[in-house]
Structure formats: structure tokens, C-alpha cells
Structure 1
């Protein structure tokens, strides 16, 4: 089976290794970000607001640090807004009326707004226009939604006729578009809310269990799968109504080893992968 090796992409500066990595991501412009705290969150009990540090490394290697005040999320998602601010969201909420699930911070680390997008966040990704895309997992099967940075609902998958949309396994946000590959039918879905003619396009797909997707023109790659196929990398071609698989291999770490526990982020033609101890990102680029 053909092996594709991740290319080293970004690394957390070593001076911050004494802090706990709450989460990490790569934004729509290619900068990597780590949300750091003094200690790991407690598994139970109420979350007391705490100060956190975001360390950012842009594609040129420039490092930036932003202190966030009074973060409230125990198991957070993170992304950066185009104006330099940040979005931090709790993946779980106990009540839909929890108005502080999503916190928006300005470039100086001050909270400017908060709102709720619903329980069970699987993915949270910001696009180039500053809209927040949220994909949910099956404990809250509302599908995929897009929000403004002040909590206004821009787009929802309700009524979009996406087959088998029960759990948003894979979500890719790049430019002003989103691509998804949701459970249970795993179609490839393109979403462009600004397009008046066919804002949603769907292609049937036989690749099951993928946790990330990359798209470049008519080419597509699916990463992940069930059981022994977690490292599977499937290449395909988008045709009129479906995706045709063209090649199947595996994606490995730069040293050739199989990834263990991992985070994945899909951005256009790229899939970013981060493994324990979550201090470095590697990248696979379909456009190479």
C-alpha cells in the first residue's frame, strides 16, 4: 500500500512546553494557533473562568502571543477571526440557553460577545469573511450551521436535503465555502451560502468513516476510516453525480510511523494533522 508522508508545518515554541495544550488549530490563512492553560481542566464540576494564552505561528514562522481573559470552556474549540480576534467555544453545553458557550475575543484578548450555537460541537472553523462554521456530532444531530461573529445565523443545513446528515464527521472551510462528509451516507457536500444558484451541491461517495477531506478542483482526498483504517488516505475524482475513488494508501508521520491520537483540520486542498503531545502540525497538500 502506498505511503504518503506528512510534511512538517508548524511547531509550538519550546518555551511554552510547560503549559497544557487545551486545543490547537490552523486558520483559514494558514497560521497555527495553540490555546494554552496553566493546568489541564478538571473532568467534572463547574468550570471557573481562567486566563489562557494563545500562541500563534504564521506561515513565515513569526510568533505572536495573545492573553485571553476569563475563558469558560472546559473542552474548547479555537479559531482566529480575520480582524485578529479569536473564537473559543465549549464543545458541550447542558442547556440550549447557555449564552456563554461561544466567546468572541478582540485582538487584545478582551471578550466582546458571547452566544450559543448548540451542544455537541465536532468542528468549529472560521472562513475568510469571519463567519463561524459549526459541525455537530450525533448527540445533537442538527447538522451544519454557519454563524456571524455576533451570533447571527447565516445558514443552516435544515431543509438542505443532504442525505444521511446525522453527524458531521469531516468539515473543510476555505475561502467562503465549506465542504463536508457527514455520517451516515458520507456524501461529499459543497456549501456556498453566497451563491444564489444551488448553494448546496452533493455527490454520492462510497468512502466511509473519513474524518477529514481535502478538495482541489475535481480532485478530492479523504483521510481516516473505521477500525484499522484510521490512517487511510483515499484519492478520488469528482464527476457529475458522484466521487470515483482512484487510489488508496495511508498517511504517516514524517518519520514513517502511524499517527496515534490526533487532531485534524481541513482547509481547501490541505489536511493538517497534529498528534500527541500536540505541539506540532504536519500537512498533506492535495495540490502538490
Structure 2
């Protein structure tokens, strides 16, 4: 099977390698961020608020550090707002209505608001207008939703007739558009909530289990799958009603090895992959 190697993208500055990586992401503008703590969270019980450091590496290589005060999420999701602030969300809510589940911080690391979006956050991605997109796992009926930074619900998938949306396996946010590939039917879904005539489009898709999706024009890439297909890279083209496969291969780390445990982020034509010990991001670009 043909192999495609990821391209090195961003590295956590070595001065911070002694810290514990709580989570990491790449934002809509291409900046990589690491949420760091002095130690790993202890098992069991509530997590007392703790201070954390975000190390950001911009596409040009510039490094920026932001200290966050009183973070409350045990297993957090992270992204940056266009004004320099950050959003930190707890992937599991202690209760379904947990007012502290998502915290919004300003550019100085001070909390400005908090709210609940519902349990089982798989994806938390901010678009370039500052909307917060949340995709849920664990067959959460919330599916996919778009929120404001103050907790106002702007859009929800349960009114969009997306077939078989029980688990948001893959979510890609670029500009103000979202692309998804949800369990159980795994269609390719384009979401443009501000478009009046056709805010949601759906294409039937035969690729099952992808954890990330990238889109460029009429071309699509799906990454991941079940079992032995965990490292699969599936390419396709969008027709009027379906995604037609054009090729299959393996996506490897830059050194040719398979990533094992990983994080993935989809942004437009790009799929970013981060393997243990989660100090480096690499990228596959459908447009390259």
C-alpha cells in the first residue's frame, strides 16, 4: 500500500518539555498551541482549579506564552479566539448542566465567561469569526453545535436532518465553514449556518471510521478507520450526491513510522497529526 509521509510542522519549545501536556491543537490561522501543567491530573475526584501555561508556536516560528488562571478541566479541549483569548472545555461534564464546563479567557489569561455545552466533547474548534464549534461523542444527541464565546447557542445539528449523526467522529472547521464525517452512516457533511438557501449539504460516503477529514475544492481526504485501518488515508472526489473513492494508502510520520496513539485536527485542506509524546505536530495538505 502506498505510503504518504506527514511533513514536520511545529514543535513544543524544548524549554517546556519537562511540563505535562494536557492537550494541544492547531488553530484556524495555523498556530500550534500546547496547554501545559506542572504535573498530570490526579485520578478520581474533582480537580481543584490550577494555573496552566499555553505555549504557542506561530507559522513563522515565533513563540508566545500565555498564563491561564484557575483552569478547571481535567481532560481539556483547547482552541484560540481571533482576539488572542482562549477557550478551554472539559471533555466530560460532571453533570449535564455544568456551568464551568467551558471557560473563556482573554488574551491576558483571565477568565471572562463560562458555560455548559453538554457532556462528551470530542472536538472543540473555533472559526475565524470567533464561533465555537463543538462535536460530541458517546452517541450524545447534541451532535454538532455552534456557540458564541458567551454561551449563546447559534446553530445545532438536530434540526438539520443529517443522517445517522450519533457520534461526531471527524470535524473540520476552516473560515466559518464546518465539515463533518459522523457515525453511523459516515456521510460527508458541509455546514454553513449563515447561508440562507442551503446551510447543510450531505454526500453519501463509503469510507468508514475516519477520525479526520480535509477538503479542497472537489477533493476530499479521510484519515483513520477501524482496526487495521487506523492509519488509512482515503482520497475521494465529490460528485453531485456522493464521494467517489480515488485512492487508498497509509499516512505515516515524517520518519516513515506509524504514529500509534495520536491527536488529529482538520483545518480546511489540512490534517494535522500529533503522536506521543505530543511535543510535535506534522501536517498533510490536500492542496500541496
TM-score class, shorter-chain normalisation, is over 0.9
Give the match for residue 46 of structure 1.
46
Task: Classify the secondary structure of the residue corresponding to 2:92.
Answer: coil
Question: How do residues 7-22 of structure 1 correspond to structure 2 at under 5 angstroms?
Answer: 7-22=7-22
Match for residue 111 of structure 1?
Answer: 111
User: Tell me, which stretches of 5 or more residues in structure 2 are unaligned?
Assistant: none
Partner of 2:273 in structure 1? Answer: 273
Tell me how far apart the structure 2 counterparts of residues 35 and 245 of structure 1 sit (CA, whole Å). Answer: 37
Q: Measure how far apart 1:284 and its partner are.
A: 0.1
Counterpart residue number, 1:167: 167
Moved more, 249-258 or 138-147: 138-147
1:96 CA drift (Å): 2.2
* Runs (5+) with no aligned partner, structure 1: none
Correspondence for 1:80: 80
Q: List structure 1 runs of 4+ shifted beyond 3 angstroms.
A: none
Counterpart residue number, 2:207: 207
Alignment of 1:112-261 (within 5 A): 112-261=112-261
Secondary structure class of the residue paired with 1:228: helix
CA contact (8 A) 2:139 2:166 kept: no
> Matched residues in 1 for 2:27 and 2:257: separation?
26
Q: For residue 140 of structure 1, report the CA deviation from its aligned partner.
A: 2.1
Q: Secondary structure at the match of 2:66?
A: strand
Instruction: Name the CA distance, whole Å, in 2 between partners of 1:259 and 1:130.
Output: 31
Provide TM-score, normalisation by structure 1.
0.99
1:159 Cα deviation from its structure 2 partner: 1.9
| C-alpha separation in 1, matches of 2:240 and 2:212 | 22
CA distance in 2, matches of 1:225, 1:123: 17
1:24 Cα offset (Å)? 0.1
1:252 and 1:200 mapped to 2: Cα distance? 33
Q: Distance in 2 between matches of 1:276 and 1:56?
A: 18
Aligned residue pairs total 288
Q: Give the secondary structure class of the aligned counterpart of 2:35.
A: strand
Query: For the residues of structure 2 that align with 1:127 and 1:38, how far apart are their CA atoms?
Result: 30
Cα separation, 2, equivalents of 1:110 and 1:138: 31
Deviations 1:213-254 (A, max 9, x none): 000000000000000000000000000000000000000001
Q: State the match for 1:94 in structure 2.
A: 94
The two structures have a TM-score, normalised by structure 2, of 0.99
CA RMSD of aligned residues (A): 0.6
SS at match of 2:228: helix
Cα deviation per residue 1:97-130 (whole Å; 9 max; x = unaligned)? 2100000000000000000000000000000000
CA shift, 1:95, in A, is 1.4
What residue is the counterpart of 2:66 in the other structure? 66
Q: Tell me the equivalent position of 1:29.
A: 29
Instruction: Write the deviation string for residues 129-173 of structure 1: whole angstroms up to 9, x where unpaired.
Output: 000000000252320000000000010001211000000000000
- Give, in whole Å, the separation in 2 of the partners of 1:112 and 1:155: 22
